[in-house]
């Protein structure tokens, strides 16, 4: 029997963050992973999706480069090489993570771990006794009745990453981050895309103005979407919607979120990341782990959300529809007001700031670099910096960041 201070089941963002910081803090740490270290984020989510997204955007820009005076005729696409590049990036980052774990002193065991007791883990026939156990087993694609994955016609977000050929058409069920990002990717590659969403608007978790802007962008991109809708039945690869339309896509991507993986009968006192069933974001999982192992606190109400693509979509804090009328101020600045946006030919979007009692309580951004812009606002929010104090900050020109500065003076 081997003994450790800390045993971690799962090698995703929560697991590897807890492992590295536990080891750096002087604990003896063993981490178990049944597949590949890095979890969903590195292997089947954030990283591979963004790699493909970037290639799709390069392809889209090359097809439309004539307006910049660049001649790029007969632009071709070899999608197998796109997937090979994605795999190359994932492999490189995985090896880097494995090296970081090793250099930090973490013992990594590849195999399926079983929690035999609250302080005993069985893996590969060996028992590991741990003073503390953290379960971070992640999540898996959620299935819905009538749309069970067959991995050929009805695909999960895992399946979609391993296609070696692009479909001519695709129907995406759900318009959260996964659905929106893949709609953009396929559209950039010239695939005919349709999205069906049960809610009244796309991106239902976002501020209403963000949702409406995404809908406008989709119309411009000729991405069809069906709201207040769902697939009632599938017959001979024909999808019949509740509204009566019949669609005949080459395949269907079910992107209705993920559900926690819970494989242990014994109750573990510490469950982190997607497995805990709270906010399923890699950065939330990492912060949970850091708080648990190193005591670094974070505000669970101030977790930024980002949807990638052009333009990016990001938000943090309260949405306007959640605030009582007359209790807040807001500003909305069009990205087209910024010189940098015109230089980049990325004028679509806006910066929306919500405030109460001279403090920012919410930020909702549709813009190139929105993922970075929202972080600037979050730092101000978490540190309780007043709007008047923020006005004293000097923002560089020309940047997208100066849009935040301009927004501070438009709050009314």
At 382-408, the pLDDT tens digits run 999 999 999 999 999 999 999 999 999
Among residues 193, 224, 254, which one ends one of the domains? 254
Q: In this predicted model, what pLDDT tens digit does every residue of 319-358 receive, in sequence order?
A: 999 999 999 999 999 999 999 999 999 999 999 999 999 9
Quick one: 102 and 18 in the same domain? yes
Neighbouring residues of 202: CB distance < 8 A, sequence distance ≥ 6: 175, 180, 195, 211, 214, 215, 218, 225, 227
Q: What is the pLDDT of residue 150?
A: 95
Separation of first and last alpha carbons in the chain: 66
DSSP state of 267: P
DSSP state of 386: B
Q: 299 lies in a domain?
A: no
Question: For residues 349 and 370, what is the distance between their CA atoms, to the nearest angstrom?
Answer: 10
Q: Where are the alpha helices (DSSP H) in 246-319?
A: 282-294
Quick one: 32 and 134 in the same domain? yes
Quick one: 133 and 222 in the same domain? no
Q: Nearest CA to 186 among 167, 164, 158? A: 167
Quick one: 384 and 311 in the same domain? yes
Query: ω before 229 within 30° of 0 (cis)?
Result: no
Q: What is the pLDDT of residue 344?
A: 97
CATH of the domain at 25: 3.50.50.60
Q: What is the pLDDT of residue 176?
A: 97
Q: In this predicted model, what pLDDT tens digit does every residue of 86-143 receive, in sequence order?
A: 999 999 999 999 999 999 999 999 999 999 888 999 999 999 999 999 999 999 999 9
Quick one: 218 and 274 in the same domain? no
Overall average pLDDT of the 214-221 stretch: 98
Whether this model's pTM surpasses 0.85: yes
Q: In this predicted model, what pLDDT tens digit does every residue of 219-239 receive, in sequence order?
A: 999 999 999 999 999 999 999
Strands 305-307 and 224-226: unpaired
Q: 342 lies in a domain?
A: yes
Quick one: 337 and 379 in the same domain? yes
Neighbouring residues of 150: CB distance < 8 A, sequence distance ≥ 6: none
CATH of the domain at 385: 3.30.390.30
Quick one: 336 and 386 in the same domain? yes
Question: For residues 220 and 168, what is the distance between their CA atoms, to the nearest angstrom?
Answer: 19
Q: In this predicted model, what pLDDT tens digit does every residue of 277-295 receive, in sequence order?
A: 889 999 999 999 999 999 9
Chain centroid to CA 35: 21
Helix orientation angle between 46-63 and 79-104, rounded to the nearest 10 degrees: 140
**Range(s) of the domain holding residue 388:** 305-408
Q: What is the pLDDT of residue 209?
A: 98
Q: How confident is the model at residue 307 (pLDDT cuts 50, 70, 90)?
A: very high
Q: What is the DSSP string of 11-32?
A: -SHHHHHHHHHHHHTT--EEEE
Q: How confident is the model at residue 157 (pLDDT cuts 50, 70, 90)?
A: very high
Question: How many domains does one find in the chain?
Answer: 3
Query: Which residues, in sequence order, are bridge partners of residue 141?
Result: 258
Quick one: 204 and 240 in the same domain? yes
């Amino acid at each position: 029997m081997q003994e450790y201070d800390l045993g971690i089941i799962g090698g995703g963002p929560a697991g590897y963050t807890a492992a590295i910081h536990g080891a750096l803090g002087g604990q003896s740490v063993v981490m178990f992973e049944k597949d590949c270290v890095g979890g969903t984020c590195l292997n089947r989510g954030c990283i591979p999706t963004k790699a493909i997204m970037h290639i799709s955007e390069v392809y889209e820009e090359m097809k439309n480069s004539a307006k910049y005076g660049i001649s790029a005729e007969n632009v071709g696409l070899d999608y197998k090489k796109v997937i090979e590049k994605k795999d190359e990036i994932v492999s490189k980052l995985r090896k880097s993570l494995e090296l970081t774990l090793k250099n930090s002193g973490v013992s990594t065991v590849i195999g399926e771990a079983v929690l035999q007791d609250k302080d005993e883990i069985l893996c590969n026939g060996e028992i590991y006794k741990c003073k503390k156990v953290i379960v971070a087993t992640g999540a898996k694609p959620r299935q819905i009745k009538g749309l069970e994955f067959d991995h050929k016609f009805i695909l999960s977000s895992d399946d979609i990453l391993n296609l070696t050929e692009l479909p001519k058409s695709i129907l995406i069920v759900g318009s959260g981050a996964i659905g929106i990002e893949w709609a953009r990717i396929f559209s950039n590659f010239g695939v005919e895309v349709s999205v069906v969403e049960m809610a009244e608007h796309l991106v239902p978790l976002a501020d209403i103005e963000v949702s409406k802007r995404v809908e406008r962008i989709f119309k411009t991109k000729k991405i069809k979407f069906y709201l207040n809708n769902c697939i009632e039945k599938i017959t001979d690869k024909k999808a019949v919607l509740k509204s009566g339309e019949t669609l005949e896509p080459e395949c269907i991507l079910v992107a209705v979120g993920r559900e926690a993986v819970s494989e242990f009968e014994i109750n573990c006192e510490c469950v982190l990341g997607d497995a805990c069933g709270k906010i399923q974001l890699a950065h939330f999982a990492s912060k949970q782990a850091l708080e648990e192992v190193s005591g670094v606190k974070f505000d669970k109400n101030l977790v930024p959300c980002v949807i990638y693509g052009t333009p990016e979509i990001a938000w943090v804090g309260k949405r306007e529809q959640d605030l009582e009328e007359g209790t807040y101020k807001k500003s909305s600045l069009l990205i087209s007001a910024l010189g940098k946006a015109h230089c980049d030919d990325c004028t679509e979007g806006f910066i929306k700031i919500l405030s109460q009692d001279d403090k920012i309580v919410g930020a909702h951004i549709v813009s190139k670099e929105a993922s970075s812009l929202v972080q600037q606002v979050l730092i101000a929010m978490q540190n309780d910096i007043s709007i008047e104090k923020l006005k004293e900050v000097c923002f560089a020109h020309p940047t997208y960041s100066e849009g935040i500065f301009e927004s501070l003076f438009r709050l009314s």
